[in-house]
Structure formats: C-alpha cells, structure tokens
C-alpha cells in the first residue's frame, strides 16, 4: 500500500457520510425556511464537519494504537496498530485535521456568532477524549450518545443556523434520523469489534450489551431513523419517499439477524453509511420540492 492510499484508508471513508449527511439536510432546510441563505456558510460547515470526522478517525487510530487495543483487529486498517505509520505521524494528521476544522469554524464564527467557538472547543474536546484521555468515554459505552449529539443534533441544527441565522424546531426534528444513522454506523463498527474489544478491556456499548442485544440495538436505530423520517412529513410532505429505502434497511437487517460477524460486517458498515447518505439526500430533496 502506497503512502497516499494508507492515509486515505486511515481516514476511514466509510464513516464520512456521518459528516456529510447533517450538512445536506441542514442546508436543504435552510433553503426551505430561509429568506436569505448563505451557501458559503453551509460550505464552511461541511468543511468543519468533514475535518472533525477525519480528525476523530485519526485520533482514535493514534490513541488505540499506543494503548495496544488495535494490534489484532478486523475492519479498516489501523495505521499505528498495523505499523503502517508512526504514532507521531498519525497524531500529527489528527491535529492537522483539527486545525482545518478550527480555521473553517473560526471563519464561520466571525460571519455568524462567536458562540460557535465555544461549541467547537467542546466538539474537539469530545472528539479527542473519545479514546484519547486516561479515562476515554468511548471505552465506557458513551460513544453513541456523543455521536448522536455532535453528528446529529449539533451538525444539522448548526448548519441550518449558520445558513439562516435561525434555530428552529424543524432543524431539531430533522436531526433525529441523521443522528440515529450516525449512531448506527458506530454501533455496527463496535459490533464488528466486540470480540476483540472485550479481550482488551474496551467496554463499548456493544461489549456492555452483548452480541444479541447489540444487534437488536443496531436494527432499532435503523427503524428509529425511518420512523423519525416519516414524522418529518410535518415539515416536508415528500419525506414519505424515504419509505423507498426500506428494502435496503431490510437487507442489512437480515444479515445482522443471521449472525454476520467479523469481516462479514465490513460491507454492512459501508451499506449503513450509504443508507444514511441516501436517506439524508431523500430528505433534502423532499425539503427542496
């Protein structure tokens, strides 16, 4: 694997829909409800969201790598754990990504509200301490809550706000299906890693729940996302079109119910990301109609 490929793989592209989806939905909502929409601000929000997601992935790679919890693991490559890159280089990549998020976020704050700087500091702190502190909350089963808040509520509501200068109940409602599917991406990732995580003392929510309950939880997140999307018809009647994505959800769920594990879950992680992107795009189109 060449240098460029390993860094792209280390950024974990399958997780990036979690960063893109809330911006798509938030921008579409801004177009629907706003009289003066700043698409430049929405673009900056996308840069912040993507940079933070990539920073989280690199920082997790670094932190898990130096703790030795990534030495034997399936799924996307771990740069530090596999020896493809030094811990110092991966940490630098994480800090560079955080830096890009800081620059874009600071510009957004100057164009909208300086309160965004405080929110950004909290987001970066949460991103780093997910696995990077002496007592990482990701090792205590709290990762899904953080993902729902930051890549669901904060990202969706925040995008709509910077584009319109308004915080609305509609943005909170639409953040729910986005956040649920972001949680689903983490949930299936943790389900895949459950056996190894339990051995190294990484007490993710999947480890705490056990295999069967973790599978039920994951499927419940998919169902919840669909239900929340249907409730969104009060904002955009064409949100009912998200029902056309149910066959994808059913296909993924069948594989989970049949007991897919380990490497078998890797393509399902990608399908979960695509489902989130498709559902978010469908909601965005419904908002634009």
Direct distance between the N- and C-terminal alpha carbons of the chain, in angstroms, rounded to an integer: 45
- At residue 227, the pLDDT reads 97
- At residue 73, the pLDDT reads 61
Quick one: average pLDDT of 13-31? 94
- At residue 262, the pLDDT reads 87
Q: What is the pLDDT of residues 202-249, one digit of tens each?
A: 889 999 999 999 999 999 999 999 999 999 999 999 999 999 999 999
CA angle at 270 for the pair 91 and 20, rounded to the nearest 5°: 65
Can you say how many angstroms the Cα of residue 197 is from the centroid of all Cα atoms in its chain?
20
Q: Nearest to residue 20, comparing CAs of 178, 173, 128?
A: 178
Q: Provide the CATH number for the domain around residue 153.
A: 1.10.600
Q: Does the structure show a pLDDT above 80 at 1?
A: no
Q: What is the pLDDT of residues 32-81, one digit of tens each?
A: 987 789 999 999 999 999 999 999 999 988 988 887 766 656 666 778 87
- At residue 56, the pLDDT reads 93
Q: What is the pLDDT of residues 136-187, one digit of tens each?
A: 898 888 999 999 999 999 999 999 999 999 999 999 999 999 999 999 999 9
Can you say how many angstroms the Cα of residue 212 is from the centroid of all Cα atoms in its chain?
23
222, 188 Cβ separation under 8 angstroms = no
The count of C-alpha atoms lying within 13 angstroms of the C-alpha of 199, restricted to the half-sphere facing its C-beta, is 10
- At residue 99, the pLDDT reads 97
Q: What is the pLDDT of residues 244-288, one digit of tens each?
A: 999 999 999 999 999 998 889 989 999 999 999 999 999 999 999
**CB neighbours (10 Å) of residue 121?**
12
Distance, CA of 3 to CA of 32 (rounded, Å): 43
Distance, CA of 25 to CA of 151 (rounded, Å): 12
Mean pLDDT over each residue of the chain, to the nearest integer: 92
Beta strands in 102-239 (DSSP E): none
Q: What is the pLDDT of residues 75-120, one digit of tens each?
A: 667 788 778 889 999 999 999 999 999 999 999 999 999 999 999 9
- At residue 206, the pLDDT reads 93
- At residue 175, the pLDDT reads 97
- Range of 247's domain? 3-288
- At residue 68, the pLDDT reads 73
Number of structural domains found in the chain: 1
Beta strands in the chain (DSSP E): none
The count of C-alpha atoms lying within 13 angstroms of the C-alpha of 38, restricted to the half-sphere facing its C-beta, is 18
Can you say how many angstroms the Cα of residue 21 is from the centroid of all Cα atoms in its chain?
9
Distance, CA of 246 to CA of 95 (rounded, Å): 39
Distance, CA of 91 to CA of 100 (rounded, Å): 14
191, 218 Cβ separation under 8 angstroms = yes
Q: Does the structure show a pLDDT above 90 at 23?
A: yes
């Amino acid at each position: 694997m060449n240098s460029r490929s390993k860094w792209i793989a280390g950024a974990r592209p399958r997780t990036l829909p979690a960063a893109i989806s809330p911006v798509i939905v938030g921008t579409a909502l801004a177009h629907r409800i706003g009289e003066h929409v700043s698409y430049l601000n929405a673009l900056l929000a996308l840069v912040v969201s993507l940079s933070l997601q990539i920073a989280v992935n690199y920082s997790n790679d670094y932190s898990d790598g130096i703790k030795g919890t990534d030495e034997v693991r399936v799924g996307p490559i771990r740069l530090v754990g596999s020896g493809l890159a030094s811990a110092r280089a991966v940490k630098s990549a994480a800090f560079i990504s955080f830096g890009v998020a800081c620059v874009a976020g600071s510009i957004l704050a100057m164009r909208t509200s300086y309160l965004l700087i405080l929110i950004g500091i909290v987001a970066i702190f949460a991103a780093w301490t997910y696995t990077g502190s002496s007592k990482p909350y990701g090792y205590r089963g709290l990762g899904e809550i953080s993902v729902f808040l930051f890549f669901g509520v904060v990202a969706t509501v925040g995008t709509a706000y910077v584009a319109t200068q308004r915080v609305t109940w509609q943005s909170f409602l639409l953040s729910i299906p986005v956040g649920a599917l972001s949680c689903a991406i983490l949930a299936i990732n943790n389900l895949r890693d459950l056996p190894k995580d339990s051995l190294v003392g990484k007490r993710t929510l999947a480890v705490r729940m056990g295999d069967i309950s973790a599978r039920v939880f994951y499927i419940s997140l998919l169902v919840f996302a669909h239900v929340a999307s249907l409730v969104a018809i009060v904002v955009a009647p064409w949100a009912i079109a998200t029902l056309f994505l149910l066959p994808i959800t059913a296909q993924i769920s069948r594989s989970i119910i049949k007991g897919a594990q380990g490497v078998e879950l890797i393509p399902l992680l990608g399908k979960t990301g695509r489902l989130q992107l498709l559902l978010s795009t469908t909601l965005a189109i419904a908002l634009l109609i």
